[in-house]
Amino acid sequence: MEFASSKGTLRYILEGNEDKPVLMFIHGVGMNLSAFKAQVIGLKDDYRVLCVDLPGHGGSYDPERFTYKETAEAFLELLDHLKIDETTLVGVSLGGHIAQYMAFHYEERVRGVVDIGSIGLHMKLSKPMKLLMPFALRFARLLPEKLFCKMFAKDKAVKKENIENLHETSLKTGKKKIMQYSFAMLREMKMPIPHPIKQPVLIIHGEKEAGFIKKRGEKWDEETSNTTRILLKNTGHVATGDDPDKVNALIADFVEGL
């Protein structure tokens, strides 16, 4: 389905009964809403499941300049269009940042946040991260397209099916866009929200997640009273595809406790 927001067209899918609590899923860089096919199948009987393509990804519009602010505003328009007053946001990687941004700026519309493979948006980048992340991204620019997408997928997943899906979606998105949105994410991380979001947060990190992300997640959980952190075995950055049954169960338990 498509919705013409004031920013541009958003592609989305909406499954489940209108009387059920709403879960809104937001994917990361180089992905699209297909990253949540297992969540749609597993959760649509008990929840109303909304998945949306980020701007510049899948079937959504290409912004002139990607920002968290514009993306959040477009997503809020979609929620208004669908007459959804309140939702629990589930974000993977960059999607986790968008979820936190929406929870901070539209507090009354967000019941809680499930943050997967991300770090607290309120947390400033450390000096090593400020140096290493741009260097790593610039190195990635030198790789041939096919090799880049292959490495992109293997870096983010463990399960074969998940790797294949990420490889396919990264090829569709293209190296140029992936690099563009990765640098945009880095830029936005330099302008964090001033304090942690107030809603309950479930932080899910894969056991094979990048070390600096896991450490940031530990610190976020230690410093706030509204967070619960889970480390999943045999999963990577995109845990939704590596162990969907476990992730779905964690999401359901979290929502039932709100």
What residue segments make up the domains of the chain, in order of their start? 2-256
pLDDT 10s digits, 42-85: 999 999 999 999 999 999 999 999 999 999 999 999 999 999 99
What confidence score (pLDDT) does residue 131 get? 67
Residue type, 176: K
Hey, how many other C-beta atoms are within 10 angstroms of the C-beta on 152?
24
Tokens of 109: 């519309």
Other Cβ atoms closer than 10 A to 146: 11
The tens digit of pLDDT for each residue in 3-32 reads 999 999 999 999 999 999 999 999 999 999
Residue 128 confidence (pLDDT): 67
Residue corresponding to tokens 């992340």: 133
CA distance 219 to 27: 23
Alpha helices in the chain (DSSP H): 37-43, 68-81, 94-105, 127-140, 145-156, 160-173, 175-188, 211-223, 239-242, 244-256
Ramachandran category for residue 69: left, alpha or beta (phi over 0 → left; psi -120 to 50 → alpha): alpha
Query: 224, 223, 230: which is closest to 251 by C-alpha?
Result: 230
Q: Residue range 201-227: average pLDDT?
A: 95
- CB under 8 Å to 8, separation ≥6 — which residues? 55, 60, 61, 62, 63, 74
Q: Are 217 and 229 in contact (CB under 8 A)?
A: yes
CA distances to 33, 53, 98, 101, 127 from 27, in Å: 6, 7, 9, 14, 27
Residue that the structure tokens 């505003």 belong to: 73
The pTM (predicted TM-score) of the whole model is 0.96
**What's the CA gap between 26 and 93, in Å, rounded?**
9
Q: Which fold has domain 2-256?
A: Rossmann fold (3.40.50)
Q: How far apart are CA 251 and CA 248, in angstroms?
A: 5
Mean pLDDT of the chain: 94
Q: What is the largest CA-CA distance in the chain?
A: 50
Beta-bridged to residue 232, according to DSSP, are 206
Distance CA 27, CA 255 (A): 19
Which range, of 46-55, 87-96, 103-112, 191-200, averages the lowest pLDDT?
191-200
The answer to whether 224 and 196 are in contact (CB under 8 A) is yes
